[in-house]
Structure 1
């Protein structure tokens, strides 16, 4: 808890001085709409120094740092381990394997990262993703059929979360009845991607990690006895990962496999309902759906930030960064950089360079499942708005009080009448 408590105290102290990082991580209101704070950072320069870390919202710097071999990753609370006592505590009370701690490939550097990523990359090739399209269509139709005509629904729990959780569960060989547990575990663990969590949030995450670890132990044992055709069965059979690496990889893929996509789908629904002219254009020109998804990724990124640490002395924007210097990269800020995107605050599904966003990161840590997330979102969104053309919000959507992951926890809607025909397939 020291790795969260000390940053929390520091953030609280800095909040009184108006430091942008303390506002972004410490205020639910700012987490809901961080863009004004990010623009205040942009006004201070391409790269600024704060008492916690360097910070940038600059597209060019973010992109270059993500690709720089002299910049690496570390766990989100690792800046705290500069203190000897905290390092001692961390070494003696490690968390069970989870997406936020090594050996998760999210927070390890080459050559460990390359070995772990190479082991699972075959499951996310374009050919592999194409094979999943029919299953995504089937799951989407089943979910839409279950929604009540002229009724109400929570489009996060009833739809946006269910599409990706179904697909990634099957890819990992997880039983159908574990989906709700994984949604609950993911909701509890994802705050660890932020810093300075309060004790109740941190304790809930620890309980979820322990539960997930016990499940993973049992699941891996079952796959050794009765392997299937899923990713984990292949990894177990290959024997190139130890149990800690298997569990960290499984939980990372599970979390990344639905967290990004549920936020992407939810953010897209709100953006499209707020811009009926854009939604009308999509009804007339459905071939624009892939670019519409890219524009949602740009203007309301499901992953708002990441961090890099200098492994050698580097220079950016005329500033020399010493080894071990930490930089928080605002992907959301980079995605609204006016040097790259004209009128960056305008939602435009026809934006020619929308795909230049950094929402899926870049370089060796670029999101492994980006193509899957895009495919799921394009089909789910098109199918939803075709089946329920009169869909509208039935209350204010509730944002998750997080900074790193940006999405909704609840989205009440009035569905309206159901279109008689099922959505067109996405085989084009």
Structure 2
């Protein structure tokens, strides 16, 4: 390749990256900030940095009707409507700019060179049937309830090993030392990732997490894309190694998987494996951190669990309901349709507030109360609903139960210290740091 060709190629790549940021973040951020200043509830919600304000906005949005019409999208925090949107065949994930229009052509050019990530096709998060059905079928069997129960003993062993390695006489950041290490070790073993590469997987997942957010700054956007590019290169090398030396792990099965005689393409394979790898631990890190905080701050509920350990599975669901790892998700109407009795035109966006639906007072009595014995705690929508229901829900629940129960059994006097910080991401909700003293 000539130097001139390299220069043109690099310039084109920079232009495409800049356009992706402009369309996906700069313009939406400016619009959201403007609408927020004018009092638009949707804009205020996205801009909100205070948790109390966020939950208060859920109530205001719900008070505006089951399907609140905001400046740029419909918004709902009413659980039956959230479920209706997520299960509707007329709603799709991703954004459709329409067939052949100028914006479609420009965005098509810009996003064609985007690094593979959770929101770029052929990711499971933004594909619809029949492709979505095909990809999901290939990995579903590994995350079935039966398969996950087979992983329980190994998960318990990993939790014990991690806690054995902690010095109870020294302060520790539980996110770094435990909440992140437990799920990343489990999912890495499922995908056949060598132990020496697990720190890379953790770094990639953390680096890519903001990609789910809207309105990233240029510097954050560039860091996210750089992380995705680095992850893509590593994953490609890892897949080639698995092809040469297949094992009995999920990735080896995916590499050789046939679906009605059709093999996954390289892009499909990398996208599916990458999403399973990153999504397989990112939200569980948040579940563990949020759960530790909740149980620490509600010693009466922890006492219930110590009295009756059989309540632990329900406690995990209550933690998922009360402080979910994911704030919201969006859908676009693929055709004119009706939601909650209201006409929704094709192309309309609907933001479903998962955390808001989890506090719908028509579904959950006294929804702000954390109650590990809540009879319908499992009715939350923290794992979404419909065809995009979280593939790893059973795995997350099992890891949450093992991880939370084990740390509180091992260190009954665990004390969280001042200085905990929340993650800067808006969609994913969890702790970046959780300083603790394990023993008096």
TM-score (norm 2): 0.90
Determine the structure 2 residue equivalent to 1:420: none
The answer to whether residue 332 in structure 2 is matched with residue 309 in structure 1 is: yes
Residues 80-229 of structure 1 mapped to structure 2, 5 A cutoff: 84-85=102-103, 87-94=105-112, 95-229=114-248
1:258-297 matches, within 5 Å, as: 258-297=281-320
Question: Match for 1:28 among 46, 49, 52?
Answer: 49
Q: CA deviation at 1:93?
A: 4.1
Contact 1:98 1:247 survives alignment (8 Å)? no
- Distance in 1 of aligned mates of 2:435 and 2:101: 45
Q: Deviation string for 1:28-49 (max 9, x for gaps)? A: 335x862112111112111111
The 3-state SS of whatever aligns with 1:327 is strand
- The CA distance in 2 between the partners of 1:398 and 1:137, in whole Å, is 27
Q: State the aligned residue count.
A: 414
TM-score by length of 1: 0.93
Q: Which runs of 5+ in 1 are unaligned?
A: 418-428
- 1:25/1:194 contact within 8 Å kept: no
The 1-side partners of 2:172 and 2:76 are apart by 39
Aligned to 2:30: 9
- Give the match for residue 9 of structure 2: none
- SS at the partner of 1:41? helix
Deviation of the 1:15 alpha carbon: 2.0
Q: Specify which of 353, 360, 372 is matched with residue 383 of structure 2.
A: 360
Change (3 A) 1:237 1:379: same
Q: Residue 70 of structure 2 aligns with which residue? A: 50
| Deviation string, structure 1 residues 256-290 (Cα, Å, up to 9, x no partner) | 11111110111111111111100111111111110
- Residue of structure 1 in register with 2:17 after alignment: none
Q: CA–CA distance in 1 between the matches of 2:77 and 2:97?
A: 20
In 2, are the aligned partners of 1:149 and 1:415 still within 8 Å (CA)?
yes
Paired with 1:310 and 1:183, the residues of 2 have a C-alpha distance of 35
Taking the aligned partners of 2:180 and 2:97, their CA distance within structure 1 comes to 32
Which stretches in structure 2 are left out of the alignment for 5+ residues? 1-20
Matched, 1:41 2:64: no
The 2-side partners of 1:393 and 1:109 are apart by 43
CA distance in 2, matches of 1:164, 1:51: 39
- Answering whether residue 258 of structure 2 is matched by residue 235 of structure 1, we say no
1:194, CA displacement in angstroms?
1.4
Return closer, same or farther for 1:8/1:366 CA change in 2, 3 Å cut-off: same
Write the distance in 1 (CA, Å) between the matches of 2:185 and 2:197. Answer: 10
1:361-389 CA-to-partner distances (Å, cap 9, x unmatched) read: 11111111101100011011111001111
Structure 1: how far apart are the matches of 2:220 and 2:99?
20
- Give the match for residue 387 of structure 1: 410
